[in-house]
């Protein structure tokens, strides 16, 4: 549940616009639509749209231009994940019904098999297996705030007072009009103090609605993750430098002129991250997460020569691809297909 701007501002600590941690990383699973199709008949249509958007520099999915964050109170997530949860619950009920019917077959009063319910659950899962991606991508409005590197703006996908509209019809402000802060969010028993990060217009009284909680990853008990997230945003918006070398940005690096020229001079492999196994990406992220937890953000602001990190510009040298994790799956095709079909019928995924 989201909270109000006034409440978030209580005892809030403003985060400075620094760039000292430097190694901003977000893992990404590539080729998520190239596995077995199974019963997902719309898969090829979604894949074609993905390929089209990779070539469109103005697409809101261009992660080399836009850096987006879901609003903490985004109710649309429930509409996309809810049907999957209900489908799994329905499949569990079906399993119990089958066990009961099987058990009572050996008694004098066997239970009739509710075929209609079983068919309903299967149809429900298969419908949302195909309709879910369309619902999330094209129909449901996303409640998110996103940063536009090209235009140096911040946009909110909901209505904001006294705001201009960008090319996507969203409320937009110059990046320099936005501030970031964090505050203590909870004193939960056994977990101590937790922190939450927020962004808001500096003149919020005249631009009500220009406020959002930014979900930080992992340990909210350590405010370092709030500081890291804002540093990542500040670094992303710095057009004097090329984009950081992170997996989610790789397919879009050629669309940013500064980054394109830098990569050419840096002899960057075109598909370094896309050829890496997702397990190795998670290992790298865990390594950097440990660094975030221990990093002296405040000390790096006052004494960057001592505390600031050096940016990793050639990650392919620091983290060579572990080929042992890229071994082809030798599981027989029929087993992989059966596993896919079972997951689609039972959970709709």
pLDDT at 300 (0 to 100): 94
24: tokens are 């901003």
Query: How confident is the model at residue 1, as a pLDDT?
Result: 43
Angle between helical axes of 333-347 and 76-104 (0-180°, round to 10) = 100
User: Which of 284, 240, 281, 236 is CA-nearest to residue 262?
Assistant: 240
* pLDDT for the residue numbered 114: 85
Residue 349 tokens read as 């995924």
Count the Cβ atoms, other than its own, within 10 Å of residue 188.
Answer: 10
Residues 6+ apart with CB under 8 A from 317: none
- Residue 93: φ, ψ to 5°: -65, -40
Walk along the chain (349 residues) and give the pLDDT tens digit of each residue.
457 888 888 889 999 999 999 999 998 887 655 566 777 777 767 766 666 666 667 788 889 999 998 876 666 666 777 888 888 898 999 888 888 888 887 776 777 888 889 899 999 888 888 887 777 777 776 788 999 999 999 999 999 999 999 998 999 999 999 999 998 876 555 556 788 899 999 999 999 999 999 888 766 778 999 999 999 999 999 999 999 999 999 999 999 999 999 999 999 999 999 999 999 999 999 999 999 999 999 999 999 999 999 999 999 999 999 988 887 777 787 788 888 888 888 887 7
Q: Please, what sign has the CA dihedral across residues 86, 34, 137, 2?
A: positive
Which residues, listed in sequence order, are joined to residue 192 by a DSSP beta bridge?
188
What's residue 51's pLDDT? 67
At 208 the pLDDT is 92
Three-class DSSP category at 119: helix
In this prediction, residue 109 carries a pLDDT of: 74
> Which residues contact residue 134 at a Cβ distance below 8 angstroms, ignoring those fewer than 6 apart?
42, 46
Q: What's this model's pTM, rounded to 2 decimal places?
A: 0.83
Cα separation, 49 vs 279, in Å, equals 27
Task: Give domain limits for the chain.
Answer: 5-74+142-318
């Amino acid at each position: 549940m989201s909270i109000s701007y006034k409440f978030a501002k209580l005892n809030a600590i403003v985060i400075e616009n620094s760039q000292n941690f430097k190694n901003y990383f977000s893992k990404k699973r590539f080729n998520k639509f190239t596995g077995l199709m199974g019963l997902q008949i719309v898969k090829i249509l979604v894949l074609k749209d993905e390929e089209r958007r990779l070539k469109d520099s103005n697409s809101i999915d261009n992660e080399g231009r836009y850096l987006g964050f879901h609003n903490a109170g985004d109710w649309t997530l429930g509409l996309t994940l809810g049907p999957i949860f209900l489908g799994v619950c329905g499949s569990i009920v079906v399993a119990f019904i089958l066990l009961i019917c099987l058990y009572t077959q050996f008694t004098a009063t066997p239970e009739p098999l509710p075929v209609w319910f079983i068919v309903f659950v299967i149809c429900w899962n298969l419908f949302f297996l195909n309709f879910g991606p369309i619902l999330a991508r094209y129909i449901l409005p996303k409640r998110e705030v996103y940063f536009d590197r090209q235009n140096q703006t911040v946009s909110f996908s909901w209505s904001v007072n006294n705001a201009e509209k960008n090319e996507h019809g969203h409320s937009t402000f110059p990046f320099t009009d936005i501030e970031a802060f964090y505050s203590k969010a909870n004193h939960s028993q056994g977990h101590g103090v937790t922190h939450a990060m927020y962004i808001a217009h500096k003149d919020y009284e005249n631009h009500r609605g220009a406020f959002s909680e930014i979900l930080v990853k992992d340990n909210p008990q350590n405010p370092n993750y709030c500081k890291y997230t804002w540093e990542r945003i500040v670094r992303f918006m710095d057009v004097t430098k090329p984009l950081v070398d992170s997996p989610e940005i790789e397919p879009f690096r050629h669309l940013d002129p500064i980054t394109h020229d830098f990569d050419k001079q840096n002899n960057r492999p075109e598909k370094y991250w896309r050829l890496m196994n997702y397990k190795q990406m998670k290992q790298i992220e865990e390594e950097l997460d440990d660094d975030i937890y221990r990093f002296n953000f405040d000390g790096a602001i006052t004494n960057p020569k001592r505390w600031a990190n050096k940016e990793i510009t050639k990650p392919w040298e620091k983290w060579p691809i572990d080929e042992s994790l890229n071994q082809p799956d030798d599981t027989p095709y029929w087993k992989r297909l059966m596993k896919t079909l079972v997951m689609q019928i039972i959970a709709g995924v």
